[in-house]
C-alpha cells in the first residue's frame, strides 16, 4: 500500500511548534510498534520473554505483529492488543484516591481497550459502565468486555447528553474524546486523508460539549480523565483550560514514567518521536467538593426482577457475592450491593450488557450464554470442559463441527486453559454454540 503524504497544513503547524519538534514528522513515517496488555483476571501470561511497558502493569511489546485472528487466546480474552501510549491510563488509575468500590464511566469506550484496562484495575470491585454512542461499535464493545470476563461491567449505547439525568453517580469518568486523529497518522494511513484544519475546529467544539454533557454525573471530588489521540493545543491544553474555567476544577498531575509534560505543564503526551508509542494526550481534572448531593430518583420502574439463587442455579454458577436479576426471559449476575444503582442506570440508559448474562430461562432449564463460559469466578466447577487442539479451536471459532468426544449435554471448550465458549454434545455429534457474529471469517487452514 502506497504511503499517503502527511497533510500540508499539519506539517506546517508541527514545523512551527517548538514543543513538538520536526522529529515528530519523521517518526510518523517509521514502523509502528506492537503492544498488548495481559488479562490478569485470567491467570498468567500466555507469552514469555517480552519487553515490558514501563507505565503499564500488564503491558508488553511484541517483537512482531502476529495474526491475532488466528490465536484462540485472543478470542478467549487472555490479552488485548492495545497501543502503548494509551496504556498511560493504567498508571493514572493506580495513583487516584478512589473509594474501595469505585463507580467508573468510560464514556467513549469502543472498541474497548481502555474499558478492559479499567476492568482489570478494578479487579472485581466497584462497577464499570462502558458507553458507546454508535450502535455498531457498541456491539463490538460488548463483545470485547464479555470476552474479558469481568463480572462488574455494564455496556450502554447512549449519546453523552443522555447522562444529564444522572446526578453525582460516578467517582471517575474517562473521556477518550473523538478527535482529529493526528496521533494515528502512522497506524492509520486513512486518518491522514480525513484530517483538516476544519476537522480540528469541529472536534475541539464537540469535545467541550461532551465534557459538559456528563459533568453533573461526576461526584463532587471525583476525577475526570480527558484524553485524545492528537497533538494540537486546541483539542488538548486549550480545551482543558476552558474546562477548568467552566467548572472551577483543579488539575491533578500524576507521575507517568517517560511521558512528556504538556504545554504549560497541562497533562502528559506520548510522542512517537520520543517513545515506542503512537500519539496520545491525557490529563486528570478533579471536581470541586459540593455540600448538597442530589439523589437519583427515577419515576420509571425498573424492568429487572430480583431473584434468589435457586438450587438448580448451583449447577451452573458459583454464586459468590453476586446478585441475580431476570430481564424478560434472561438471567444475569450483577455485583453484590450494586443492584439499586444498576436498576437506576437501567431505567435511564439503553443497557446492552448487564453484568454477566448467564443464559436464557426455558421450560427445560437454563440455556447458557457465552458470557458465563468466559466469566471469571462465576462458572461452576461442575460444568464439564473439553480441551481442544489449536486446529480444533480455530474450527470451533469458525462455527464448524468436527469429531469430538465429550459428556452429553452442555460443555465448555477451551484451548490451553483459555475458555472459548459452549457446545451441546449430543452423543455422536455436537452443536457449536459459538455466537455467529463472533465467528472467524478468514481461512484457518
97, 167, 284, 395 from 434: Cα distances, Å: 41, 39, 40, 11
What whole-number distance in Å separates Cα of residue 146 and Cα of residue 276? 29
Find out whether 76 and 119 touch, Cβ atoms under 8 Å.
no
125, 305, 403 from 14: Cα distances, Å: 43, 56, 60
Find out whether 28 and 274 touch, Cβ atoms under 8 Å.
no
Find out whether 39 and 71 touch, Cβ atoms under 8 Å.
no
Beta-carbon contacts of residue 41 (< 8 Å; ≥ 6 apart): 119, 120, 123, 124, 148, 149, 150, 376
Rounded to the nearest angstrom, the gap between the alpha carbon of residue 419 and the centroid of all alpha carbons in its chain is: 20
What whole-number distance in Å separates Cα of residue 112 and Cα of residue 145? 7
Interhelix angle for 197-214 vs 237-247, to 10°?
Answer: 30
What whole-number distance in Å separates Cα of residue 103 and Cα of residue 59? 24
Residue 42 in grid coordinates: 485470567
For the question of residue 229 being annotated catalytic, the response is yes
- Smallest CA-to-CA distance from 322 within 342, 346, 302 is with 342
CA angle 19, 20, 24 (to 5 degrees): 165
Give the Cβ contact number of residue 100 at 10 Å: 6
- Smallest CA-to-CA distance from 175 within 91, 283, 58, 268 is with 283
- Which of 91, 108, 172, 229 is an active site residue? 229
What whole-number distance in Å separates Cα of residue 237 and Cα of residue 55? 22
Query: Which are the catalytic amino acids?
Result: 229
Amino acid at each position: 500500500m502506497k504511503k499517503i503524504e502527511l497533510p500540508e497544513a499539519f506539517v506546517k503547524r508541527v514545523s512551527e511548534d517548538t514543543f513538538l519538534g520536526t522529529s515528530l514528522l519523521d517518526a510518523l513515517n517509521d514502523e509502528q510498534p506492537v503492544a498488548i496488555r495481559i488479562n490478569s483476571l485470567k491467570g498468567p501470561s500466555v507469552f514469555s520473554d517480552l519487553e515490558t511497558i514501563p507505565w503499564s502493569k500488564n503491558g508488553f511489546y511484541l517483537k512482531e505483529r502476529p495474526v491475532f485472528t488466528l490465536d484462540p487466546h485472543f478470542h478467549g480474552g487472555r490479552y488485548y492488543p492495545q497501543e502503548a501510549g494509551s496504556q498511560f491510563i493504567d498508571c493514572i488509575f493506580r495513583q487516584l484516591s478512589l473509594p474501595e468500590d469505585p463507580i467508573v464511566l468510560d464514556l467513549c469506550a469502543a472498541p474497548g481497550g481502555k474499558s478492559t484496562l479499567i476492568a482489570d484495575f478494578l479487579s472485581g470491585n466497584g462497577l464499570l459502565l462502558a458507553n458507546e454512542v454508535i450502535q455498531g461499535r457498541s456491539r463490538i464493545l460488548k463483545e470485547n468486555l464479555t470476552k474479558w470476563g469481568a463480572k462488574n461491567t455494564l455496556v450502554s449505547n447512549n449519546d453523552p447528553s443522555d447522562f444529564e439525568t444522572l446526578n453525582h453517580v460516578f467517582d471517575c469518568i474517562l473521556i477518550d474524546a473523538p478527535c482529529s486523529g493526528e496521533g494515528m497518522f502512522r497506524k492509520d494511513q486513512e486518518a491522514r486523508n480525513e484530517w483538516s484544519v476544519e476537522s480540528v475546529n469541529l472536534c475541539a467544539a464537540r469535545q467541550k460539549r461532551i465534557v459538559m454533557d456528563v459533568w453533573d454525573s461526576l461526584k463532587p471530588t471525583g476525577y475526570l480523565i480527558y484524553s485524545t489521540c492528537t497533538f494540537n493545543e486546541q483539542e488538548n491544553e486549550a480545551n482543558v483550560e476552558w474546562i477548568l474555567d467552566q467548572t472551577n476544577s483543579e488539575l491533578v498531575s500524576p507521575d507517568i514514567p517517560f511521558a512528556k509534560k504538556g504545554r504549560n505543564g497541562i497533562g502528559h503526551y506520548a510522542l512517537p518521536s520520543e517513545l515506542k508509542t503512537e500519539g496520545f494526550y491525557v490529563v486528570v481534572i478533579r471536581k470541586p467538593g459540593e455540600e448538597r448531593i442530589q439523589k437519583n430518583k427515577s419515576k420509571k420502574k425498573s424492568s429487572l426482577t430480583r431473584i434468589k439463587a435457586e438450587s438448580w442455579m448451583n449447577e451452573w454458577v458459583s454464586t459468590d457475592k453476586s446478585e441475580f436479576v431476570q430481564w424478560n426471559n434472561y438471567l444475569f449476575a450483577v455485583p453484590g450491593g450494586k443492584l439499586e444503582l444498576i436498576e437506576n442506570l437501567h431505567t435511564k440508559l439503553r443497557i446492552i450488557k448487564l453484568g454477566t448474562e448467564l443464559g436464557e430461562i426455558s421450560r427445560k432449564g437454563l440455556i447458557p450464554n457465552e458470557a458465563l463460559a468466559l466469566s471469571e469466578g462465576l462458572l461452576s466447577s461442575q460444568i464439564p470442559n473439553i480441551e481442544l487442539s489449536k486446529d480444533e479451536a480455530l474450527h470451533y471459532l469458525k462455527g464448524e463441527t468436527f469429531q469430538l468426544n465429550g459428556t452429553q449435554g452442555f460443555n465448555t471448550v477451551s484451548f490451553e486453559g483459555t475458555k472459548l465458549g459452549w457446545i451441546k454434545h449430543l452423543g455422536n455429534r455436537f452443536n457449536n454454540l459459538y455466537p455467529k457474529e463472533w465467528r472467524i471469517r478468514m481461512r484457518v487452514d
